[in-house]
Amino acid sequence: MSAAGKRVSHESARAHVTGAALYTDDLCGRFPRLLHAWPVTAPHAHALITELDVSPALDVPGVVATLTASDVPGENDTGANRRDEPLFPAEVMYHSQPVAWVLGEDLDAAQRGAARVRADYQPLPAIVTLRDAVARESFHSGPIRLQRGDANEALAASPHSLEGELEIGGQEHFYLETHAAIAWLDESGGVALHSSTQHPSETQEVVARVLGVPRNAVTVECLRMGGAFGGKEVQANPWAAVAALGARKTGRPVRVRLTRALDMALSGKRHPFLARYRVGFDDDGRLLSLLATLYSDAGWSLDLSEPVMGRALFHLDNAYFLPAMRAAGYVSKTHKTSQTAFRGFGAPQGMLLVEEILDRVARRLALAPEVVRERNFYREGQTTHYGQAVKDAGRIPAIWRRLLESSRFAARRAEIDRFNRTHPHRKRGLAITPVKFGISFTATVFNQGGALVLVYRDGSVQVNHGGTEMGQGLFTKIGQIAADALGLPLNAIRLMPTRTDKVPNTSASAASASTDLNGAAVMDACARIRERLAPVAAVMLGCAPEAVCFAGGFVSVKGDDLGRIPFGHVTEAAYRQRIPLFAEGYYRTPEIHFDARLGHGHPFYYFAFGAAATEVEVDGFTGQYKVRRADVLEDVGDSLSPLIDRGQIEGGFVQGLGWLTLEELLWDGEGRVATAGASTYKLPSWSELPEEFHVDFLERATEPGVVMGSKAVGEPPLMLAISAREALRDAIAAYGPGGEIPLASPLTPERVFRAIEDQRAKLCTFASPPTRVVRA
């Protein structure tokens, strides 16, 4: 009868598909006299504002007010981690940066008003490429370093070595719901907001900062988001601040909603990376030393770029033991949108590098990549390059072997080789790659969660917690947890919108940890309520409080269902005995610590493991490809919600596939996002899904110490898509003689085609027989 582990649909699934589910901007209709905001955007990537005259906007019929720096009663800054984000800048730092806002009776008036604002600029030299930033040493901070042993010495002593460079593209979040906020004044003079934010407490903090009021004067609510993917971890804040400022100035409710084009031009993306590396290895392909320098393109402000780089460095090992390594990460400053959190949070870039390296090592030695990968796996008892023991390291080879078997890897390998021998213009490729992803915010302080559970006299329940719902199924899982903890059916639990006046000082819903943190806090609150109800029920049942059992909406004596009492009768009795029926809950992750100075510690509570085997087919005339089949085996612990977990795995894989193979962000020479719409930015859709998609969970994988034995699932599966990139490389190799094939990312059809051409050219030049790959 337990709700946890049951295959329940997303709690809003029906509302999602019928359109009944409301998002921030859908709430506009509730606000009479609502004003609409539109920005005045700068036409330069870098410039001084020499003159700004907003008064002509006020001549436009329907324009009610303008917003500039002089309207800010508090601090003119919305930076989350450094005060480096003026809301109204004196110096333009990226193309299309808002320099002022116009409020109108309708959007059209605001837009026409914004067009009338007179702004003059003195253009300044702009850095719009990562390579340019690196060459000029334009860095926000750093470098951040991690090392183990003497990597130089280990490299010198290695029988083989390689060096190279890897370029990794960014990614647009493309949440279906663009950034949105509505702000209004409440009767106390405070400001209330609906905001599409992953971090209501930080949105509250930033709004309070800009308004110059204490945080208790600001209330932020997030009903749900239409996707966030990290893009709303800190970047919801400026839009909320504009709405709040407008409400404060006019006394009227104000709505900010970015159009898709604005959202793509103004909001941050996944960080593009450039990596330079040297690696030493032995005859068997075992890595002996890795030296790496990572550069991220962070854009104009710091944002979360330091922890993103930190997570990239933490994941340079992926699932592999690096006996000696030294890495430095530089967070580069460019005149572009401020790149931000995106599913995986730097780990995808770090892992991509080691997977690129292992493939080169394998091809250099004419070994099968899957053989070299397996040889490098962590073994039980080994520690990472930052000193954390890899608990359950044995799960990596266990998942690997099971997946090789269930995907019929060896047999398909042989079939593919046969296919490729008989098809000169079409080649298939197959690859398997692992994922090991650290769960916990790397900044230890964020690893806490809170809850407030309210039970009404009739036994119905409202659950408040610090997490936000962005489609990932957090509320579904929390509902299941609360139902089990109180012994109630799922439909007795109501999940309330996330509000800063219910649970304060919350962390962002991020790092895949929301269920671990908030779910445990809800468990804690429910346990308190059970403890208070047990003595009441014990008297009613004539048993000891310890013998009281809550299940299925009833309270009974353990092992005896006959005399059971409806839960609502017990709560009513408790009320009459003046026993409180609501409780707060709290959780902090134990054991984690990290010394940033030494680069050493135990930053992750546990690791999420998985692997994927993916097969592709590539057309030699065009470089176009399709994913024929993907097999995934993911360690989700004891799945709390199998349908939700499966959705996260499938969605994460496909989003990773988009990042690695289709989605290419381009900026023009002026620093403008050239791919600011779905017409120029290719997203994965129905037709790009794997034709066959097998998703399985690792069995008997209970994770002790985590809520109901489950494991986080939000981000790790994204990196399973690296198997598709490696499969493409495998197919490309089949067009030529073999050998190393370094590839930039994303591997768009265009790049695939060029890589095939390179392979064909090699065949002509050397006319050598193809390298025979040893698969042992």
Per residue, the 3-state secondary structure of 209-251, as one string, reads: HHHCCCHHHEEEEECCCCCCCCCCCCCCHHHHHHHHHHHHHHC
Among the listed residues 154, 463, 511, 526, the single contact to ligand HPA using CB under 6 A: 511
Which position among 221, 356, 469, 715 bears the catalytic label?
715
Question: What is residue 132's three-state secondary structure?
Answer: helix
Which is nearer to ligand MTE, 442 or 472 (by Cβ)?
472
In whole angstroms, what is the distance from residue 433 CA to residue 373 CA? 8
- Write the DSSP symbol of residue 771: P
Nearest residue by C-beta to ligand MOS? 230
Query: What residue ranges in 54-97 does DSSP mark as E strands?
Result: 63-67, 91-92
Among the listed residues 304, 453, 548, 732, the single contact to ligand HPA using CB under 6 A: 304
Among the listed residues 407, 442, 464, 723, the single contact to ligand HPA using CB under 6 A: 442
Question: Which residues from 458-517 bind ligand MTE, rule CB under 6 A?
Answer: 470-472, 474, 509-515
In whole angstroms, what is the distance from residue 610 CA to residue 613 CA? 11
Query: What residue ranges in 60-214 does DSSP mark as E strands?
Result: 63-67, 91-92, 98-104, 118-123, 139-148, 160-168, 180-185, 191-195
CB of 471 to ligand MTE, least distance (A): 3
Among the listed residues 79, 285, 429, 714, the single contact to ligand MTE using CB under 6 A: 714
Nearest residue by C-beta to ligand MTE? 714
| Binding partner of residue 227 among ligand MOS, ligand MTE, ligand HPA, none, CB cut-off 5 to 8 Å per kind | ligand MTE
| Binding partner of residue 388 among ligand MTE, ligand HPA, ligand MOS, none, CB cut-off 5 to 8 Å per kind | none
x-or-dash string of contact with ligand MOS, 179-218, rule CB under 6 A: -------------------x--------------------
Identify the bridge partners of residue 429 per DSSP, sorted by sequence position. 616
Question: Cβ distance 72 to 79 under 8 Å?
Answer: no
| Binding partner of residue 471 among ligand HPA, ligand MTE, ligand MOS, none, CB cut-off 5 to 8 Å per kind | ligand MTE
554 sits in which H/E element? strand 554-557
Q: Are strands 47-53 and 91-92 parallel, antiparallel or unpaired?
A: antiparallel
x-or-dash string of contact with ligand MOS, 695-724, rule CB under 6 A: --------------------x---------
CB of 226 to ligand MTE, least distance (A): 9
x-or-dash string of contact with ligand HPA, 208-247, rule CB under 6 A: -------------------------x--------------
Q: 329 Cβ partners below 8 Å, 6+ apart?
A: 142, 143, 144, 145, 293, 294, 295, 296, 309, 310, 312, 313
CB of 193 to ligand MOS, least distance (A): 20
| Binding partner of residue 472 among ligand HPA, ligand MTE, ligand MOS, none, CB cut-off 5 to 8 Å per kind | ligand MTE
CB of 228 to ligand MTE, least distance (A): 4
Identify the bridge partners of residue 119 per DSSP, sorted by sequence position. 52
In whole angstroms, what is the distance from residue 292 CA to residue 273 CA? 12
- Which token pair is 622? 């065009």
Q: 137 Cβ partners below 8 Å, 6+ apart?
A: none
In whole angstroms, what is the distance from residue 182 CA to residue 242 CA? 10
Backbone angles phi, psi at 592, to 5 degrees: -80, 145
Q: Does 442 bind ligand MTE (CB under 6 A)?
A: no
Nearest residue by C-beta to ligand HPA? 511
Q: Does 96 bind ligand HPA (CB under 6 A)?
A: no
Place of tokens 């494991």: 711
Which is nearer to ligand HPA, 305 or 376 (by Cβ)?
305
Which is nearer to ligand MTE, 315 or 428 (by Cβ)?
315
**Can you say whether the dihedral through the CA atoms of 409, 373, 647, 268 is positive or negative?**
negative
615 among known catalytic residues: no
Chain positions contacting ligand MTE, by CB under 6 A: 227-230, 343, 470-472, 474, 509-515, 648, 651, 712, 714-715
Residues taking part in catalysis: 715
Chain positions contacting ligand MOS, by CB under 6 A: 198, 230, 233, 341-343, 345, 510-511, 715
Chain positions contacting ligand HPA, by CB under 6 A: 233, 304, 307, 311, 341, 345, 441-443, 446, 508, 510-511
